[in-house]
A = this chain, B = another copy of it.
Amino acid sequence: MTFEVTILGSNSALPAHGRHPTSQVVNQNESLFLVDCGEGTQMQLSKYKIRRSKINHIFISHLHGDHYYGLIGLLTSYHLLKRMEPLHLYGPRGLKEIIDVNFKYSDTRLVYPLNSHEIDCAGNDIIFESDQLTISTLPMNHRIPCCGFLFRQKQSGRKILAEKIASYQIPHSTIPNLRKGEDIQRGEHKIPNDELTTDPPLPKTYAYCSDTLYTEEFLNLIQGADLMYHETTFMDESKGRAELTFHATTLQAGLIAKKAAVKNLLIGHFSSKYEDLNLLLEETKSVFTNTELAEEGKVFKI
């Protein structure tokens, strides 16, 4: 089952060095979830051939422009392209007002249903749930209300061994029970479940930690995550500037990854002062080896 994240934008504050402001798209079994939407995100979706019609849920971490200035353009394009499917938008208080005032003056009445969900950035709430996935908020510590998002796959049922089902002539109606782990009773004789199934894959977790000052507040919520994205606006030499602007450094992101015992770390939200990102990568790796750069267009399996 696909569970991966594609990077659309990796820069902080403003576009620079060919890098775009923050945006990512999470693909869970061909359902696409857009996370943040800096200016130019719709162009990036086209560039990387991501089918925007498959996005039904958009999550905005906070209302600094580098995380949402591309949203109004994307919403408008959906309208012009005559989208029918409802779109769910999750973001902090104020996002709906911003959209409404734009559409008031352009006299736009969207042709598709836009369902706005206001999120509480201080909480750890499940804001989306399907039979395969939950998405919950992670409290960040930023200059304005800001949250991260935790994508957690649900445990799927046991994996059916098709050839065994055939050879035992097991009726298809019993498969849901087999998935749950039940045995098959045939008169006196029992066919044990593990003769017919194998363990399902372990559910995976992706933690998107948006703009934040170094904080351990969400550490227990992301323990053991398969992949964590953590902002690394600055290198260690600028940790004073990071603190002033409520951002994190390479070493701090590495430390969080280590303390949370995540499997892999993805760093992004780079300051425009850095053209060569390898310096940030090396510095983060000095604390946490399994680190990669959130480079635009790259796809990371979770």
Which residues of chain A have a CB within 8 Å of any CB of chain B? 13-16, 20, 39-40, 42-43, 46, 63-65, 69-70, 72-73, 76-77, 80-81, 92-95, 97-98, 101-102, 104-107, 143-144
27 contacts between A and B (CB under 8 A): A14-B42, A15-B42, A15-B43, A15-B46, A16-B46, A20-B43, A39-B39, A39-B40, A39-B42, A39-B43, A39-B73, A40-B40, A63-B102, A65-B73, A65-B76, A65-B102, A69-B69, A69-B72, A69-B73, A92-B105, A94-B104, A94-B105, A97-B101, A98-B102, A98-B105, A105-B144, A107-B143
Q: Which residues of B contact A70 (CB under 8 A)?
A: 39
Q: Which residues of B contact A46 (CB under 8 A)?
A: 15-16
- Shortest C-beta distance, A130 to chain B (Å), equals 29
Per the bound structure, the CA–CA distance linking A46 and B11 in Å amounts to 15
Nearest neighbor of A92 in chain B, beta-carbon distance: B105
Q: Which residues of B contact A39 (CB under 8 A)?
A: 39-40, 42-43, 70, 73
Q: Which residues of B contact A98 (CB under 8 A)?
A: 101-102, 105
CB <8 Å contact, B42 and A43: no
Per the bound structure, the CA–CA distance linking A14 and B106 in Å amounts to 14
CB <8 Å contact, B65 and A14: no
